Each structure stands twice: as structure tokens, then as C-alpha cells.
Structure 1
């Protein structure tokens, strides 16, 4: 790398890195990630906590206890069992804090179930299953059989289902979907931010006439290359910091235990595609921004490029995520402007063969030199142009 390019790169990186607005915005985004992960952990923990009930039995009904515990285990119900007298149970049923759900007394085969007001259907089902199991056990024992053997036979008594045609896998993978959306959203944020900074920087230098002083000592292509590299280094820094913070947050809170996606590997692939995607789009933003001379005209150049960014983002989110193995997803994998969004998502969802990844990266690498030639040609001819907007066809003339 030549010295002028390196000097411009350091200037651009330092300028973006040390501004108060960038420091504040990055700090806010880090705080949002941490707070969001904590809030998500809180709600996930609440969702994973199963229902619970408290049941007390009279001394003469204690034979029901093992059957109550077995039924609760089968129903996924956290059961708190205790042995109380009738007077103690009545007080516990109407207690203000942690009241008892039900009290069983009398005959274990037909117990009296006492509740405070309305019986909980889950508790009624629990007691019913326990009483049925108790009666069945007693009857088997009376006939001379072994209740344990009968229980084992009943547990294995189920039809063996076989399909002539293997069913299609249509199960929605929620965690993988979330990881995919977060990845491409981070990528979109970084590409839009980087492209906007490049465009504004190019036009600011033209408006202030600083570019004329710079071009007296360095070549236009060196100035453009340094600007793209410096802002790209800052955008990559943002991706690593925000993506790393998100990965650390969800890992520390134990949210990755049920996620089949390797979050670390997904982040690594995201960085690779950021580098490719940023190079492709930054060249366009930097070259085409030189066509205008005033800040008010930036939109006429950046709007089509923003559209070029949002189209692959939304197509990936609403089409590729739903069916990563579809024909459309496979075709878009080989389109350089779509690949930075499509490929990381297909990889996270397990729908990307290794050879497709290699071909996609190769096509992007072949496209970049063409874009370098295009953007350098436009930038060289447009950066010193003043007045109205320069037409693209005029900039491309030999």
C-alpha cells in the first residue's frame, strides 16, 4: 500500500472513530444489545418455567402420593406434596400467600378433594390420573399380577407408524431465524452507514474545495482508495464490536444452549461477507458521489444505491429465510449484489453447500476489479467538476 493511501486511510479512520456523535451512538447500541439480551433472558426464563401446584393429603391417603408424583411428571407439572390434617389444610387453602390448591382425604380409590373455591382443571386431571393408576395397581395386585410388569407393558403399547413417503421437514427453526435476521440487519446497518459516510465525505471535500488541495499532492484514485479503506475499517470495527457484544451477551446468559447455529462461526462468515459487500457497494458510493457538488444533491446519487441495498435485504428476509434451498435462493447466491445477504443466511439455516460458497466468493472477487475500474473512472472525471450534477455517461466518456 502506497504512503498517500495509508495517510488518507488513517485520517478517515481517526476522523470517524473519535467524533463525539459516533462514540455516543456506538455506546447506545452496545447498551441496547446488553439490555435486550437481559430482557430476552428474563422472558425466556419465565416461559421455560412449567406450571406448578401444591396438593396436601390426609394421613390415610398417603398411598396416592407416588401416583400423584408420577402423574405430575408425565404432565410436566411441578408438584409440591405435603401431609396435613383437615384443620391445617383448610387454613392452607384460604391462605393469602402460596395457598394450597387441593386437599385429599378419605378413601384413596375415591378421595374427597377439597378446594378453596374453584378447582384447577390441571389439578383435577392430575388427581384423576393418580386415582386411576392407584385403582389399577390395586386390582392387578388382587388378581395376583405384578403391577410393575403391567405398567411397562402399557408404556410400550403404542402403534408403530411407518410412512411410504418420507415427510418433508417443515419445522420452523426460531433461533436460527433470529440469528439470520440479526446478521443481515447488522450487515445492512454497516453498509448503509459506510456508504453514506463515503458519499458525504466526497461531496464535503468538493464543496469546501479541500479536494483541490489534496489532489495537488496525491492521485484521485489514491484519495478514493484511502477514503474507502479508512471508513471500511471503522465500519468493520463496528461490526466486530456489536456482533461480538451480542455473541458474548447471549452466551453469558445461556441463550445459546438451544440454538443449533454456531454463533461464532456465523459471525466469522458475516465478517467475510461484510468485507466483500462493503468493497462492492463502497466503490459505487464513492465513485458516483463525485458526480454531484452540493450536499442537497447527494440523494439523487445515493437513493438508487440504497434501493440496491434494500432489495437484497428484504428478498433475503422474506424469501430466502423461508426456503433457503429454493431455486431463487440458489440463483441469488451467485449474484454479487445479493450474495452478501443471501449466503450468511443460507449458511446459518444449513442450506448452503460448500461449493456454492466458494463459487459465490469467487464471483464477488471477479466483480470487484470491474467496479474498481468503473468507480475510479467516474471519480477521476467527476471529483473536480463543479456546478450542476455531472451525467454518468459524460464521466464514462474516454
Structure 2
């Protein structure tokens, strides 16, 4: 009588991945926390969008002689009229905020501002004579919008990476402490078990990223931030790509670090360095989002590139080739982390009791 052949490595990987995904989707705590995260993200996008939204332009009446002057003013919409009488009629009926019509006299201005009761100080100030101003380094992005985008990418990376990284670590230690892992690796290769865990949690993390991106798009549309929306599309796509490889890198290291201990209480001691690597981009982007030098350096460091590079792309500080070079560095680091993590995982998974030292895990 022939015995059934063992499952192939690829089949084993997908079986473990499906198990990881199914166990998460059955968890009420995971579903509730995901829902709360999406609601917080939506609220943040709406609040940020309304806060940074440009005020509606003032409607100012102007004749053919003054329309060119008025149209050059900031945040103003010109309503052309035939003469002063028509302009006065629109001002009195409050259909326009004010009017600028040809003036008489030797005051040097050549025009007059008409207002119903109080003259708009912004309009008067804009029309006043002032020296010519030349901006040598014009700001490409609203500082508030830049800050909010940086915070958004940082928070998403921090929460997704830390949440699923911790989940992987707890799963590894739970299987090790209950000795379930001994049954698992008797049926499937150790590396297939590691790959399945990483792939399963990566799928869940990427689904969250896609949902958050959709929420960001909806929030920007609702708040009328079409200009921001048109500029953030490509950075969001790059963020998803960078996050994919960045998360695989961190997930492999989380699983490896967790395999060196046998109790849930000891997870923190081995994963703390990884948590610091996840938190660093978040805090650095808060303090240095307007510092081009620091942001450039961060965009080439594998652990911070998923946050820094999309921000630089959004504000237009990165050349077209920079995200490609940064991605190559990240992928190379990811491959190295997978190889090292797999070695540590294989050498530590069946060692119970005291914490396995890193040197011993690498040497086997």
C-alpha cells in the first residue's frame, strides 16, 4: 500500500498563508481594530482637508479698465461690469464683495474701491502701492499639506508594520511554546512555514494599505482637494510598493527574533530593536519633513524609505530615478534579511527553554 506523497513546498507555503489569513479574519479584535483604524484615517483626512482647504475667492466687480488690475490679485474672482453705475448696483445688492472702478483725481491710483459698508482690508492692502517682490525659492507645496502627508505615511507605516510584526512574533512563540511547531515541521519544511507566515500577514497588511488609500482618495474628493489628489496619486502607489518590500523585510526579522525565545513574556526583549527601526521613520518625518537633506538620506535607508521617498515625490524634491535606486537598495536589503532571518528561524525554532543568543542562532 503506497503512502501519500508530502505536499510540495509551494503548496505548504500557501496552506500556512491561508491559515494565517483565516485566523486573523476570524478574530473580532482584529476586525474591530481595523475598522477603528479606517475611521480614524477617514476623520484625519477630512479634518486635514478642510483645514488646508483654500478659502473661496472673493467676487470683485471691475470694468474693462480695471479688470486687469483686479485679476492679478490673489484669491479674487473678477465680475466684469459695463460702468460704475452697474458696479454700485452689484455692491449694494451684495452680489459682489466690492468693486474696483476707474477713479478721478490726483491721488496717483487711477481707480476707486466701492464697498457697501466696510471696505475689504485685504483688497485695499493688495491694491496699495508696494515694492516689487521676487521670490528666489518659491515653495512648491503648502507646508500644512506637506506635514499632513508626511504624518499620514508615517502613521500608516508605523501602525501596519508594528501590528502585523507583533502578530507574527506572537504566532511563532505560541506555536513554539505549545510544541505545535514540532508537528508542523514534521509535515512541511521550516522555510515553508516561515514563508507562509510572512506571505499571509503581508497580504493582510497590503489589504489595509489599499483600503487606507481608497479612504484618502474619498476624503480628498469630499473636501474638494482636487489639486492635492492629482499630486498624491503617484506617491501613494510608490508607498504601496515600498511598503510591500519593507514589510517583508521586517516580517522576516520579526519571525526570526521571536523564534529565539519560548515565552510570550520574552518577545519584547528580542523585538525591541525592530520596533525602534519602525518608530524611527515616524518621529524623524515629524521633526524633519521640511529638511531636504535629512529626508534625502532617509529615502535611501531601507527602514525609512517607505515613508521618506513618497513624501519627497509628493513635494517634488525627488528626481525620476531616485525612487528606482532606493527600491533596488530596499529589495537587496530585503533579500539579505530573508536569508539571515530564515537561518535564525531554522536554527532556533526547536530550541526550548532559555533565550537563544544571536551568535548561536546564526552559527546553528
- Name the TM tier (shorter chain): 0.7 to 0.9
Label 1:262 to 1:217 Cα distance change in 2 as closer, same or farther (>3 A): same
CA distance in 2 between counterparts of 1:378 and 1:13 reads: 24
Label 1:69 to 1:10 Cα distance change in 2 as closer, same or farther (>3 A): farther
Q: Given the two structures, how large is their TM-score scaled by the length of structure 1? A: 0.70
CA distance in 2 between counterparts of 1:333 and 1:31 reads: 29
Is 1:363 aligned to 2:329, yes or no?
Answer: yes
Counterpart secondary structure, 2:236? helix
- Displacement of 1:169 in angstroms is 3.0
Aligned to 1:9: 17
- Displacement of 1:176 in angstroms is 3.1
Label 1:292 to 1:68 Cα distance change in 2 as closer, same or farther (>3 A): farther
Is 1:18 aligned to 2:26, yes or no?
Answer: yes
2:173–2:258 contact (8 Å) kept in structure 1: yes
Label 1:313 to 1:161 Cα distance change in 2 as closer, same or farther (>3 A): same
Is 1:322 aligned to 2:290, yes or no?
Answer: yes
Deviations 1:168-191 (A, max 9, x none): 335743223322321221122111
CA distance in 2 between counterparts of 1:19 and 1:184 reads: 26
Aligned to 2:202: 232
Is 1:31 aligned to 2:1, yes or no?
Answer: no
CA distance in 2 between counterparts of 1:243 and 1:271 reads: 9
Among residues 226, 230, 255, which one is paired with 1:257 in the alignment?
A: 226
| Structure 2 residues without counterparts, runs of 5 or longer | 1-8, 60-82, 113-125
Aligned to 2:361: 395
1:176–1:349 contact (8 Å) kept in structure 2: yes
Counterpart secondary structure, 2:254? helix
Aligned to 2:316: 350
Matched ranges for 1:27-176 at <5 A: 27-37=35-45, 48=55, 80-81=93-94, 136-137=103-104, 150-151=110-111, 161=132, 167-170=136-139, 172-176=142-146
Counterpart secondary structure, 2:228? coil
CA distance in 1 between counterparts of 2:51 and 2:35 reads: 24
Aligned to 1:276: 245
Counterpart secondary structure, 1:396? helix
CA distance in 1 between counterparts of 2:218 and 2:94 reads: 40
CA distance in 2 between counterparts of 1:287 and 1:268 reads: 29
Label 1:162 to 1:176 Cα distance change in 2 as closer, same or farther (>3 A): closer
1:212–1:384 contact (8 Å) kept in structure 2: yes
2:217–2:229 contact (8 Å) kept in structure 1: no
CA distance in 2 between counterparts of 1:37 and 1:226 reads: 34
- Displacement of 1:157 in angstroms is 10
1:377–1:395 contact (8 Å) kept in structure 2: yes
Q: Given the two structures, how large is their TM-score scaled by the length of structure 2? A: 0.76
Label 1:395 to 1:34 Cα distance change in 2 as closer, same or farther (>3 A): closer
- Displacement of 1:261 in angstroms is 5.5
1:193–1:235 contact (8 Å) kept in structure 2: no
1:261–1:348 contact (8 Å) kept in structure 2: no
- Displacement of 1:80 in angstroms is 4.6
- Displacement of 1:67 in angstroms is 6.3
- Displacement of 1:346 in angstroms is 1.0
1:191–1:278 contact (8 Å) kept in structure 2: yes
| Structure 1 residues without counterparts, runs of 5 or longer | 53-62, 73-78, 83-122, 141-148
